[in-house]
Structure 1
Amino acid sequence: MPKTILIVEDYDDTRELMRIALSSSGYNVIEAINGVSAIEKIHEKRPDLIFMDIAMPEMDGITATRIIRNEIEENYVPIICLTAHSQKYYQEAIDAGCDEVITKPFDPSVLMSTVTRYLP
């Protein structure tokens, strides 16, 4: 059974690039456009890995990560934060519960090597 990856990203182009790379590698992909919809999606189907953008409307990725870690997580799910401002948000993302921070833009090979580390 394929592993499920949740992509939480408000930019359509970035989300599409990630979806194509992940689904073509055999992963089941769920998409959300902000932290609010991410939490709804997690309640519907528990992902095996989450890619979480930090700067999004309605609910940012830092807040969503804190909620996932403190309120709804039953089994540990790795959360990889995505940001165009790595230095600005790095420590805040780690403190919120992100396992790793990837700076955008990124090459699809970085995405896939990250997935391989967390979903061997």
Structure 2
Amino acid sequence: MQKTIMIVDDSESLRQVVNIALSGAGYKVLEAKDGVDGLAKLDGCKVHLIISDVNMPNMNGIDFVKEVKTLAKYRFTPIIMLTTENQEYLMEESRKAGAKAWMVKPFKPAEMLQAVAKILAP
């Protein structure tokens, strides 16, 4: 069965890079431009993993994670934060909100695919 991953980032070029890497590895990809858009697209469809930026307009990544964790259907969906930020307090905030992992941009697609495979491993 094909697994679905949602990428939430306000950078269209970054969403494209992530989409190409994930699609190439056989994943189905949903894209959202910010937390508000991401929540709107979590409409009951099965999402196996969410990759979210931290700094976005309308709703930042940490608030997005908190909101996702209030939704019964997505409460246990793993979330990776993908961001230019590397401050310890932001990592701690996202962990508290419910994020599983943290990756710093720029990233190597192969490293991201490794992290995704590890989190999605049965």
Using structure 1 for the length normalisation, give the TM-score: 0.93
- The aligned amino acid for 1:104 is K
Identity of aligned residues (%): 36
Cα shift at 1:45: 1.8
Quick check: 1:111 aligned with 2:112? yes
Q: Which runs of 4+ in 1 moved over 4 A?
A: none
Secondary structure of 1:80's aligned partner:
strand
Cα shift at 1:6: 0.2
Cα shift at 1:85: 1.2
1:5 aligned residue: 5
Give CA-to-partner distance per residue, 1:8-54, whole Å, 9 cap, x none.
Answer: 01101111000000001110000000000111111242310000111
1:95 aligned residue: 96
RMSD over equivalenced CA pairs, Å: 1.2
Q: In 2, Cα distance between the equivalents of 1:16 and 1:73?
A: 29
Cα shift at 1:118: 1.2
Cα shift at 1:110: 1.3
2:20 aligned residue: 20
For the structure 1 residues 119 and 103, does the alpha-carbon distance in structure 2 shift closer, same or farther, using more than 3 Å as the test?
same
Using structure 2 for the length normalisation, give the TM-score: 0.92
Instruction: Give the unaligned 5+ runs of structure 1.
Output: none
